[in-house]
Amino acid sequence: MILLELDNVSKAFGGVIAVKQVSFHLNQGEVLGLIGPNGAGKSTLFNIISGIFKPNTGTVKFNNKDITGMAPYKICESGIARTFQLVKPFSRLTSLENVMIGRAYGSHPARDTREARIESEQILAFTSLANRQDRTAGMLSLVDRKRLEIARALATKPKLLLLDEMMAGLNPAELDDAIVLVKAIRDSGITLIVVEHVMKVIMGISDRIIVLKTGEKIAEGTPQEIVCNREVVKAYLGGEVSC
């Protein structure tokens, strides 16, 4: 079943075209990788899907409903959540309080504070933050702030989660743990689009990968098809095609 569909989506800022006639679909239960050089339009595409930017042309459909240009909070209520490359939790609040705020919004908001607390504690346990739930967000390490960003997004009960470079700055052991978390999110029934520069992550979790270059989609396929694509290797991966 198709969960998300973009049709000829474009976005320009003045004379600069950030996204140009991008079309793709996302099946329910998939993990879709989105890669490309810096400035390729990946985050802009996330901003369009999540309602921060309205496209100049094209449509975005979610669950067979046109959500093009809809307000971000409405899109969140429909079941789409996202993280941001630069995480900005409420630094003076605890991890638990940050997640409880997320439970007040989204597709199925908590009915009261007690329910929000119980469910937020469960989400913190799922993201391996249970023993830090009473620690203020500003005192967390980078890897824990990134996990808190994911926990806050999960608190809105999304059907689709957009992860924007959540692996940047992590060491190899932390990357392995992050891959386990992403797979656990997928196994819980949430569909994902992942923007990431760490190829170990993208190749290890994606069912399909889309490659952008200067705002245009230049390739789409399985991880194996992408690493064997000469245009992708030349534009982004580097080296020689060995397939």
Query: What's the rounded mean pLDDT across residues 89-103?
Result: 96
Q: Tell me whether residue 105 is in a domain.
A: no
Nearest to 157 by CA among 198, 194, 120, 127: 120
Is 11 contained in some domain? yes
Domain count within the chain: 1
pLDDT band of 197, cuts 50, 70, 90: confident
User: What's the pLDDT score for residue 207?
Assistant: 96
Better pLDDT: 230 or 155: 155
Token output for 33: 């990788």
Model confidence at 120, pLDDT cuts 50, 70, 90, reads very high
Confidence of residue 200 (pLDDT cuts 50, 70, 90): confident
Q: Which of 33, 48, 47 is nearest to 232 (CA)?
A: 33
Q: Which domain holds residue 11?
A: 1-25+50-70
Q: What is the pLDDT of residue 85?
A: 87
- The mean of the pLDDT values for the chain is 93
Does 201 map to a domain? no
Residue 66 included in any domain: yes
Q: Is position 17 within any domain?
A: yes
Within-domain flag for 104: no
Span 159-178, average pLDDT: 91
Q: Is 123 inside a domain boundary?
A: no
Closest CA to 155 of 203, 105, 193, 112: 105
**pLDDT tens for residues 45-58?**
999 999 999 999 99
pLDDT at 238: 73
Q: What is the pLDDT of residue 119?
A: 97
Please give the average per-residue pLDDT across 173-183, as a whole number.
Answer: 92
Q: What stretches of 2-141 show up as alpha helix (H) in DSSP? A: 42-49, 72-78, 95-103, 113-126
Q: Looking at residue 81, what is its pLDDT?
A: 97
Report which secondary-structure segment, H or E, holds 223: helix 223-227
pLDDT band at 199; cut points 50, 70, 90: confident
Query: Do the domain assignments include residue 58?
Result: yes
